A and B are shown apart, each in its own frame.
Chain A
Amino acid sequence: MSAQRLAKAEIAASKQSANESMDDAMVACPLKASTQNKDEKKERIEICVLGDADEGLAEIAVVLRKASGEQLNTITDDAGLCNFEGLDKGEYELCLPELDEASWELLKQISLGEKSISEATAIWKPENPIKQDEGFMHSIVQGECVAKLAARYGFFPENVWQRDENKALREQRVEMYILAPGDQLFIPPNTVKLAKINSSERIDLRRKGATEMLNIRFLDYDDTPRVNIPYLISVKADKNEALQDVQNQTDAGGCVRVAIPPNAVFVTIYLDKGPYQEVHEFNLGHVNPIDTLSGVKARLNNLGYSCGTEDQNLNDKTVSAIKAFQTRYELAVTGERDSETLKVLKEKFGS
Chain B
Amino acid sequence: MLRLSQAQSQAIVAAHRANAIMMMCEHCRVYFENEVAHFTQAELTQQVEACLLRAKKYHLTSRRDCYHFLNLALEYGWSFDTDISLSWMRNYLTDKRVDSPSERLELLVKRCITRQKIEEQNRAMRQEFSPREAAKEENIFIKVAQSSDYIKPINSTLLLENVLPYFNSKALQEMEDAAVSKRIEYEDDEENDDRNEESYYENDNEPLMLTKQI
Interface residues of A (CB under 8 A from B): 1-3, 5-10, 12-14, 16-25, 58, 61, 72-75, 77-78, 123, 125, 230, 232, 234, 239-245, 247, 270, 273, 277, 279
Provide the residues of chain B in CB contact with A273, threshold 8 Å: 129-130
B32 to chain A, nearest CB (A): 7
Q: Residue of A at shortest CB range from B144?
A: A1
Provide the residues of chain B in CB contact with A1, threshold 8 Å: 75, 116, 141-145
A235 to chain B, nearest CB (A): 10
- Give the A-B pair count, Cβ closer than 8 A: 140
A75 to B110, CA, bound (A): 13
For the complex of A and B, 3 pairs with smallest distance between CB atoms: A13-B67, A3-B116, A25-B16
Whether B126 lies near A13 (C-beta < 8 A) is no
Provide the residues of chain A in CB contact with B74, threshold 8 Å: 9
Whether A58 lies near B111 (C-beta < 8 A) is yes
Whether A234 lies near B63 (C-beta < 8 A) is no
Whether B88 lies near A19 (C-beta < 8 A) is no
Q: A16-B64, A24-B16 are in contact. List 7 more A-B contacts (CB 8 A).
A: A9-B27, A9-B32, A18-B62, A18-B63, A23-B17, A77-B111, A270-B126
Whether B64 lies near A14 (C-beta < 8 A) is yes
> Which of B63, B99, B115, B121 makes the CB contact (< 8 A) with A20?
B63
- Asked if B38 lies at the interface with its beta carbon under 8 angstroms from chain A, I say no
Provide the residues of chain B in CB contact with A9, threshold 8 Å: 27, 31-32, 71, 74-75
B:133-159 near A, CB below 8 Å: 133, 141-145
Provide the residues of chain B in CB contact with A12, threshold 8 Å: 27, 30-31, 67
User: Main secondary structure on chain B at its contact with chain A?
Assistant: helix
- Asked if B172 lies at the interface with its beta carbon under 8 angstroms from chain A, I say no
Whether A13 lies near B62 (C-beta < 8 A) is no
- Asked if B195 lies at the interface with its beta carbon under 8 angstroms from chain A, I say no
Q: Which of the segments B100-108, B162-170, B205-213 contacts the partner chain?
A: B100-108
> Which of B61, B67, B97, B126 makes the CB contact (< 8 A) with A232?
B126
A241 to chain B, nearest CB (A): 8
Whether A74 lies near B66 (C-beta < 8 A) is no
Whether A22 lies near B32 (C-beta < 8 A) is no
Q: Which has the most chain B C-beta neighbours within 10 Å: A58, A77, A242?
A: A242
B76 to chain A, nearest CB (A): 8
Q: Residue of A at shortest CB range from B71?
A: A9
A273 to B122, CA, bound (A): 16
B:6-56 near A, CB below 8 Å: 9, 12-13, 15-17, 20-21, 27, 30-32, 52
B89 to chain A, nearest CB (A): 10
A5 to B65, CA, bound (A): 18
B:75-109 near A, CB below 8 Å: 75, 88, 95, 97-100, 102-103, 107, 109
Whether A74 lies near B99 (C-beta < 8 A) is yes
A277 to B134, CA, bound (A): 13
Provide the residues of chain A in CB contact with B143, threshold 8 Å: 1
Whether A21 lies near B111 (C-beta < 8 A) is no
Whether A61 lies near B97 (C-beta < 8 A) is yes
- Asked if B184 lies at the interface with its beta carbon under 8 angstroms from chain A, I say no
> A6-B113, A247-B125 known; A73 and B63 CB under 8 Å?
no
Provide the residues of chain A in CB contact with B99, threshold 8 Å: 72-74, 123, 125
> Which of A20, A242, A279 makes the CB contact (< 8 A) with B133?
A279
Provide the residues of chain A in CB contact with B75, threshold 8 Å: 1, 5-6, 9
